Amino acid sequence: MSTDDIATLPDHRLLSLLDESRMIIVCGPGGVGKTTTAAALGVLAATHFAKRVLVLTVDPARRLATALGLVALGNAEVPVHLDRARGTLTMAMIDTKSSWDDMVRRHAPDERTRDRVLENELYRTLTSRFVHSHDYVVTERLFEAREGGGYDLVVVDTPPSRSALSVLDAPRRMEQFFSSRLLKLLTAPTQSRLLSLASRPFFVVADRILGAAFLSDIAEFFTLFRTMEGPIVARSRRVGSLLAEESTKYAVVTSPEPVAMREAKFLVDELRRRNHRLAAVVANRLVPVRLGDGALKRAVGLEASLADPVGQLAPPERRRLEVLVACEREIAAISAQHGSAVQRIADWGALVVTGEDRGGDITDTASLLALGESLRTRVTTERQE
Ligand SMILES: Nc1ncnc2c1ncn2[C@@H]1O[C@H](COP(=O)(O)OP(=O)(O)OP(=O)(O)O)[C@@H](O)[C@H]1O
Ligand SMILES: [Mg+2]
């Protein structure tokens, strides 16, 4: 089969999904179009519904970010102009460092604690260098976006594959962190316990290499951080339950390449294992229908005119036709591969939405809407596993 054999259904299912959800979390392997799809879903929702839509993105491709005015703004929420939209669209990038700083400003019990945390070396290193430090701030941003009451739909872009799962696990991990014995040991009753650890061999060496400031920074950081335990744990719990709500849906994006599909299937299984509501799998960057449709027929037709003994083709004309035949055959072969990839994805048992490769980059709201519209009109039937 080829992409032109994909059964297309009336387009209401993707739109119903956008209409019914309050949060859509877009996950997938690296580079398959998660950020683009999240933005396209946001544009589609704001165009069709009188909703206030927020798209929270992670690290968008530079040209898209520039086109949407996201580059210089870090964490700020930017209104995006759409022609003929019924609702409004706002986009924001999740900047890890500034999100942590905002969180400390919000939760610190007093100004002194706030300033000491912000100036603490360990805090600075943790928030700017550690990959997982991103996960928790996404939680904070989700809380603000949902509980702030400003938005009807929040579309959340995530980092590639397994990191998306660690974003989803972040609320629970944060709670575990605060109740951990290690934190209690480090902070109770005062810093003295930690500082007394400093006489142990590891710390003696650490102290020599890293300087005494390192140890006191650790002690200070954990002690100060604990003063924010109450609000942080409360929010983590709330976000944990938001992630599991009926109106929170998950979409997995994949390309038709085998490596991406393996990773996407892993995500699908993990989301289900965690009882998250997988609403759709988006098979992105498929051969466009206008190219794939009838490519084989066109190749066969051209071959017939090449074989025609009566028509004497001039050599340049013959060569031109041969090139065209080769192109059509190649398109037909890729289209067939994509068609069977989509069929395999349909076996995963979720709604499959197909997205065409639109050539070049997708860098403005018009091309995002065009992608969104093509997504909603190429919904395929799903088969149950
Ligand atoms: N359907 C499409 N047609 C054409 N180009 C596309 C399509 N989808 C995505 N792209 C392009 O592919 C590139 C990667 O897309 P994107 O940044 O959305 O991927 P991602 O999955 O978010 O990547 P990462 O894992 O790095 O975050 C971008 O240049 C984007 O414009
Ligand atoms: Mg991305």
Residues with CB under 5 A from ligand 2 (ion): 34-35
> What is residue 1's predicted lDDT score, i.e. its pLDDT?
47
Q: Which 3-state string (H, E, C) describes the chain?
A: CCHHHCCCCCCHHHHHHHHHCCEEEEECCCCCCHHHHHHHHHHHHHHHCCCEEEEEECCCCHHHHHHCCCCCCCCCEEEECCCCCCCEEEEEECCHHHHHHHHHHHHCCCHHHHHHHHHCHHHHHHHHHCCCHHHHHHHHHHHHHHHCCCCCEEEEECCCCHHHHHHHHHHHHHHHHHHCHHHHHHHCCCCHHHHHHCCCHHHHHHHHHHCHHHHHHHHHHHHHHHCCHHHHHHHHHHHHHHHCCCCEEEEEEECCCHHHHHHHHHHHHHHHHCCCCEEEEEEEEECCHHHHCCHHHHHHHHHHHHHCCCCCCCHHHHHHHHHHHHHHHHHHHHHHHHHHHHHHHHCCCCEEEEEECCCCCCCCHHHHHHHHHHHHHCEECCCCC
Residue 131 CA, ligand 1 centroid: distance in Å: 21
Distance CA 15, CA 38 (A): 14
Distance CA 100, CA 124 (A): 10
Instruction: List residues near ligand 1 (CB under 6 A).
Output: 28, 30-36, 59, 61, 160, 284-285, 355, 357-358, 361-362, 371
Q: Which domain holds residue 59?
A: 3-180+246-288+342-380
Residue 56 CA, ligand 2 centroid: distance in Å: 11
Reading the block at residue 325, the tokens are: 């035949």
Tell whether 157 and 300 lie within a shared domain: no
Distance CA 288, CA 358 (A): 7
Residue 187: inside a domain, yes or no? no
> What is residue 169's predicted lDDT score, i.e. its pLDDT?
81
Nearest CA to ligand 1 atom 16: 33
Residue 363: inside a domain, yes or no? yes
Tell whether 176 and 307 lie within a shared domain: no
Residue 145: inside a domain, yes or no? yes
> What is residue 24's predicted lDDT score, i.e. its pLDDT?
96
Phi-psi region of 360 (alpha: psi -120 to 50; beta: other; left: phi over 0): left
Residue 211: inside a domain, yes or no? no
Residue 61 CA, ligand 1 centroid: distance in Å: 8
Distance CA 264, CA 347 (A): 13
Residue 361 CA, ligand 1 centroid: distance in Å: 8
- Say how many domains are in the chain: 2
Tell whether 97 and 25 lie within a shared domain: yes
Q: CATH number of the domain that 172 lies in?
A: 3.40.50.300
Residue 232: inside a domain, yes or no? no
Distance CA 299, CA 327 (A): 8
Tell whether 158 and 302 lie within a shared domain: no
Residue 197: inside a domain, yes or no? no
Low-confidence ranges of the chain (pLDDT < 70): 1-11, 59, 71-75, 129-133, 161, 182-183, 185-216, 308-311, 380-385
Tell whether 79 and 113 lie within a shared domain: yes
Tell whether 166 and 305 lie within a shared domain: no
Reading the block at residue 252, the tokens are: 């997995």
| Among 3, 25, 35, residue to substitute to test ligand 1 (most atoms within 8 Å of Cβ) | 35
Residue 285 CA, ligand 1 centroid: distance in Å: 9
pLDDT in tens, 48-105: 999 999 998 876 777 777 777 776 556 678 899 898 899 999 988 887 778 888 888 8
Tell whether 46 and 109 lie within a shared domain: yes
Distance CA 385, CA 241 (A): 28
| Among 27, 36, 44, 55, residue to substitute to test ligand 1 (most atoms within 8 Å of Cβ) | 36
Reading the block at residue 24, the tokens are: 């859509």
Tell whether 300 and 277 lie within a shared domain: no
Distance CA 253, CA 354 (A): 10
Residue 223: inside a domain, yes or no? no
Q: Which ligand is nearest to the CA of 260?
A: 1
| Sole residue written with tokens 């109450």 | 230
The strands making up 248-254's β-sheet, listed across from edge to edge, are 77-80, 88-93, 52-57, 153-157, 23-27, 248-254, 278-286, 351-356, 379-380
Tell whether 268 and 305 lie within a shared domain: no
Distance CA 120, CA 215 (A): 11
